[in-house]
Amino acid sequence: MKIEDLKVGEVYKCKVDEDMDYPFEGKVEKIYEHSALMEIVKNDPKDDTNKMELNNKIVVSIKKIK
């Protein structure tokens, strides 16, 4: 995925190496140069504690968004 292909408000599948243990779906809130601020909208129930600690938001590298 390229940064130009991201659209604010759209939902994408993501997998990060830190903070969340399982893949999740996130809605783009803001786009940065090489990453995006995502609202976590769907996640594995095992990651609910991590999601709460992050206040449902996470910055994801463009390389980790599909």
Residue 34 identity (one-letter amino acid): H
Tell me the C-alpha distance between 5 and 54, whole Å. 25
Residue 4's pLDDT is: 92
Tell me the C-alpha distance between 28 and 59, whole Å. 10
Residue 23's pLDDT is: 98
Confidence band, pLDDT 50/70/90 cuts, at residue 42: very high
Do the strands 35-43 and 11-14 form a parallel or antiparallel pair, or are they unpaired?
Answer: unpaired
Q: How much is the pTM?
A: 0.90
pLDDT at 1 over 90: no
Residue 36 · residue 13 · CB < 8 Å: no
Query: Model confidence over 5-40: pLDDT tens digits?
Result: 999 999 999 999 999 999 999 999 999 999 999 999
Structural domains of the chain, count: 1
The mean per-residue pLDDT over the stretch 33-52 comes to 97
Q: How many CA atoms lie within 13 A of 44 on its CB side?
A: 11
Domain hosting 57: range is 3-64
